[in-house]
Amino acid sequence: MANCGHDCSTCQSECGTRSKTSLIKAPHKGTHIRRVVAVASGKGGVGKSLVTSLLAVRARAAGLKVGILDADVTGPSVPKAFGVQTRALGAEDGILPVETRSGIKLISMNSLLEHEEDPVIWRGALIAGAALQFWTDVLWGDLDLLFIDMPPGTGDVPLTVFQSIPLSGVVIVTTPHELVEMIVKKAVGMAEMMSLPVLGLAENMSYFTCPDCGKAHEIFGPSKAEELAAAYHIPRTARIPVSPALSKLVSEGRIEEADTDPVSAIFAEILTSREIGDYLK
């Protein structure tokens, strides 16, 4: 019971709490999503929204039909990165996601608020319910990949998403700071308890390239990406630099113009899925 993920439909153990009822929720009728990938971390401020956005842009550039579910209900930032200011509209039987310039479908709490700076002052259960409704009540249509930008930590929303949405895997985001191993261990531990594969480890703010000499400086300490990936059997890594150019694109809502090469290895791991691989042939 120590590693119980509370999803009895995928459990082989025989215990007194075993139930035949799955906690997985179906998406809105008419929705067909081939693969769902969560982007998570053990703490906040490490760049989950950035990694989510870069992966989505990479996938869209590859010709895939892509969506982003911004599950960080109280701190949504994905619409800002894409320059999306339009509000989501309601249809007769659901919510229509907004679209970015390149056609990435997006739903976020900021797409529903009258003013994007309005605070969402809700308790945990209500926040988790809203994140789940982004899955069950949104008219996503036909998607190859849906990325979920998770809030930090391992609380109500991550637990609800991990239990209720049929995830194909998790990408973990971290930084090269001293607390990094504890952060990764928490996130990997939650994924393991939910029987979900970790597809990649993205180390944000990994280094800075001097514009004058071209030398890479690890200004927040030596990279631990490869070491941690080996220790926790994570197949792919990404090192995302501190980049004034990238920061400018995000601030101006032009992340679709960003260089996505740093996340190419993790995106390649996502594409090893049989569903996506067959689609691209």
Contacts of 105 (CB under 8 A, 6+ apart): 66, 67, 68, 97, 98, 99, 140, 141, 143
**Residue 148's pLDDT is what?**
97
The first and second tokens of residue 174, run together, are 């971290």
The confidence score (pLDDT) of residue 120 equals 82
Torsion of CA 52, 196, 194, 228, to 10 degrees: -80
d(CA 94, CA 140): 10
pLDDT at 273 over 70: no
Binning pLDDT at 50, 70 and 90, where does residue 43 land?
confident
The angle subtended at Cα 272 by Cα 250 and Cα 48, nearest 5°, is 25
Could you tell me whether strands 198-203 and 66-70 are parallel, antiparallel, or unpaired per DSSP bridges? unpaired
Does 243 map to a domain?
Answer: yes
Residue predicted with more confidence, 48 or 152: 48
Question: Is 257 a domain residue?
Answer: yes
pTM: 0.88
Q: At 21, is the pLDDT very low, low, confident or very high (cuts 50, 70, 90)?
A: low
CA distance 106 to 100: 7
Over residues 85-140, the pLDDT tens digits come to 888 888 888 999 999 999 999 999 988 887 777 888 888 889 899 999 999 999 99
pLDDT in tens, 198-227: 999 999 999 999 998 989 999 999 999 999
Residues β-bridged to residue 145: 35, 66
Distances (CA, A) of 240 to 19, 87, 94, 149, 260: 43, 31, 37, 17, 9
**9 occurs within a structural domain:** no
Q: Which CA distances in Å does 67 have to 10, 133, 263?
A: 26, 15, 17
Confidence band for 254, pLDDT divided at 50, 70 and 90: very high
CA atoms of 117 and 75, how far apart (whole Å): 10
3-state secondary structure 37-92: EEEECCCCCCCHHHHHHHHHHHHHHCCCCEEEEECCCCCCCHHHHHCCCCCCEEEC
**Contact by Cβ (8 Å): 153, 200:** no
Q: Are 225 and 213 in contact (CB under 8 A)?
A: no
10 located within any domain: no
Q: Which domain holds residue 197?
A: 27-280
The total domain count for the chain is 1
Structure tokens at 266: 């993790």
Q: What is the CATH number of the domain that holds 75?
A: 3.40.50.300
Show Cβ contacts of residue 279 under 8 Å, excluding neighbours closer than 6 positions: 34, 64, 144
Report yes or no on 22 lying in a domain.
no
CA–CA separation, 250 and 228 (whole Å): 28
Give the C-alpha separation, 20 to 256, whole Å.
44
Contacts of 86 (CB under 8 A, 6+ apart): 98, 111
Q: How does residue 280 score in pLDDT terms, banded at 50, 70 and 90?
A: very low
